[in-house]
Amino acid sequence: MSKVWYIMLLSSVTALLFTNPGKAVTAMIAGSHASVKLAIELAALYGFWLGFFGIIEKIGLADKLGRLLHPVVNFLFPGLNKKGEKYVTMNMAANLLGLGNASTPMAIKAIKEMDDGSGKVSQNMIMLTVLSSTSLQLLPTTVIGLRATHGSVNPADFLIPATVATIVSTVLGITLVKLIGLMLKKRKSKKEKKKAGAPLPLSVKTL
């Protein structure tokens, strides 16, 4: 996929250089300026929230939040250890506040706790990926912050439709992961029953 984007970018820049070189240079400079400005704005925003979550973890609020959300986390991630549960809880809290990038380090730590060394993806890993992708947001602070810095008159006017959309996508994602997990378990149990009820080989019978 990266090669496709590279070819598209290269062909468009080449065509623009041949047709209107001045405009091409101006567009590249303006794009570079905008990207640096955006990176600084996001760095400030995420620096604050990552520090905020670091303080929460240090003073023990993460453990209290984990106990509060234990029934939900236990339902979504059965068999998860306490350390992994804490990281999942903080990941969910970051997503609820609309801090997608701030939740990523917690998700990586949670995935490491879920890894059993088999090299296979577990249902808990899939569930965490789906939750991070659907990203239930009660307060999308990143989008609100970007809209505010770009001069929006009402940066939070999209809050209700965004909340409804993320709730629907999250519920649908959880439902699909649970249903597919049940189907795979049933299929696996059927295979195991067939193996257990299979007739013994002739050589074993003669013994």
Model pLDDT for residues 69-80, shown as the tens digit of each residue: 788 888 889 888
Angle between helices 21-58 and 141-149 (to 10 degrees): 140
Query: Per-residue confidence at 100, pLDDT binned at 50, 70, 90?
Result: low
Using an 8 Å Cβ cutoff, are 114 and 128 in contact? Answer: yes
**Burial of 127 by CB count in 10 Å (0-12 exposed, 13-18 middle, 19+ buried)?**
buried
Candidates 66, 84, 166, 178; CA nearest to 126 is 178
pLDDT tens for 19-50 read 777 777 787 788 888 888 878 877 777 777 67
For the chain, the first-to-last Cα distance in angstroms comes to 59
Question: Could you tell me the sign of the dihedral formed by the alpha carbons of 75, 78, 82, 85, in that order?
Answer: negative
**Per-residue pLDDT at 131 exceeds 90:** no
Q: What is the pLDDT of residues 175-189, one digit of tens each?
A: 999 999 889 888 888
State if pTM tops 0.85. Answer: no
Task: Go through the chain and tell me how many residues it has.
Answer: 207
- Residue 132 CB partners (closer than 8 Å, separation 6+): 91, 95, 100, 103, 104, 107
> How does 161-172 read in b/e, with b if 16+ C-beta sit within 10 Å?
ebeeebeeebee
Locus of tokens 């996929």: 1
